[in-house]
Structure 1
Amino acid sequence: MAIKDSAAVIGLGLIGGSIAKALKKMGIKVMGLDSDEQTLAMAKSEGIETHCFNTQGMAGETAIPDIFSHTGIIFLCVPVSFISSTVKLIANHVPRGAIITDTGSVKKVIVRDVEAVLPDGVSFVGGHPMAGSERSGFGWAREDMFYGAPYILTPTPGTDAEILWTMVKLVRDLGAKPIIMSPEEHDRVVAAVSHLPQIISTTLVNAVAEVHPEGSVMDLAGGGWRDTTRIAGSNAVMWKDILISNKDEILPLISAFKEQLSVLESAIKSSDEAVIKGRFQNAKAYKK
């Protein structure tokens, strides 16, 4: 089964929609599946074959076997909590030789749960494109979303080398930079560079909203506020799943952040110039 035959993208949000558009530009026949009629209409208007699909399966008269019978690769671009259940739902209808991959921001739990329900003859390679924005939905999807962005692949010891190489080439074709690491290493690293920043940005906005509930302070907000809080507008359902699924890696980072914040708080209270200056210098040096 060759990827060039056909690809399916389940979940046509920002990431799934961008993958669908990029694959279509590459000349691959793309089927887009989603439960939202407006999303399907937008995708169809751009020449993507569409089918209604929800957590229970197909909606309407089309049967699952007819959708996936000639599909070389299936992208699961649904919330983390639905990935393994979606694999279980379509497992008996995916042809031998096909590849299933995902775009979830957590990998250890997903890989474990998917491999438990994966049918014989079908391969799974965990994936996570480190791209996107605080926007959500197909309307914000772009075919160049992944240009120059890291795209993490998380094979396991049982992953076939040829299958992994196929995924590496596809990621490069999407314009991204493939990075290979274990599911465990992925979760540890991404907790630091993606999950904690999201928590801090969201908490910052909530803290300011608590102190200034009227919101008039935003009239004075400049670039620093915009840069720090841009991702606070991210999808709540998606992030709920991510934070719960990767809590083992996230909680120690929250503790470390609270400790750092406490050190700075104490230094400000005591007007300890040396500590305050040292915290800023350390941060600048590490970032550089």
Structure 2
Amino acid sequence: MMRDVWSNLEELRSEVTDGQRGRSLLVTVMAEYWGEEGAMAPSGALVDLMSAFDVSASGTRTLLSRLTREGRLVAAKEGRRSFYALSPTAHHRLAEGFEVLRKFGTGLEPADREWTMLLFSIPEEQRSARQQLRKGLSWMGFAPLYDGAWVSSRARGDQAMSLCRDLGVEAASVVRGSITAVGTQFGDPTDAWDLDYARRLYASFTAFLEEPLGKLRADGLTPPEALRARTESINVFRGFPRFDPDLPLAGLTPDWPRRTARDAFAELYEGTAEASLGYVRSVVQLHSPAHVQDVSVRRLTPAGGSPASA
């Protein structure tokens, strides 16, 4: 049983990170602790922090250079020291994605049964555009009900059409409303998602959180362990909206595990926030005391607002 659990978790990690664990974790660390626009992280501090994830110093430096070339990070120099910040584009995308996670699994999904359907046709010679469209739609919360017919429980028609225009798709339409299945074996909108697979992923993730949550409750997590557990958990949790984009509960089984997984994640994520923040600041202090003020921490509860899970 445990072998299946860990196999499913590793599969989810692979789906989320495209097999590039170190790269994904580095971007997550930047988003979690240097999420304020323009906040600069000393390269030496990032090297030290990434060692908590078993990423070597040379590996971290290689990742920093690669992410800078790709436009995900911007680099700056102060004397001989190097500093990195999220690029404006990366900052916007990561902030937008985090806002989705604030609400995900809280029971605030749409109560209605209206769906958005994107209908499109792309010639065979535009295979690259088709692949990019499918990938983009997946991240928006769409899934293929039929070939060329993708559905979403969210009102994302404008975003889907914008993506079509950006990719040069010339034949596409958006429909918003209820969907009635004709067939008896397939055709309900939720059939577009592999719900058995999503359930296994939820079970694997919840099992993965048991050990760090046990330590957290017993005050047994060291600051580096808190950083690792917090970063690893959100790095995986952020992939769930691809497999279950807050599908309406009315179309799922009563024991659907989304809320259970969300509650376990939120307890660990929020419970390790202060220890992780203190640890990151202590590492930055060793490299550039003037930049400690750039370090912040993201919370599921927005500053001055009510809890996202309320």
- TM-score using structure 1 length: 0.26
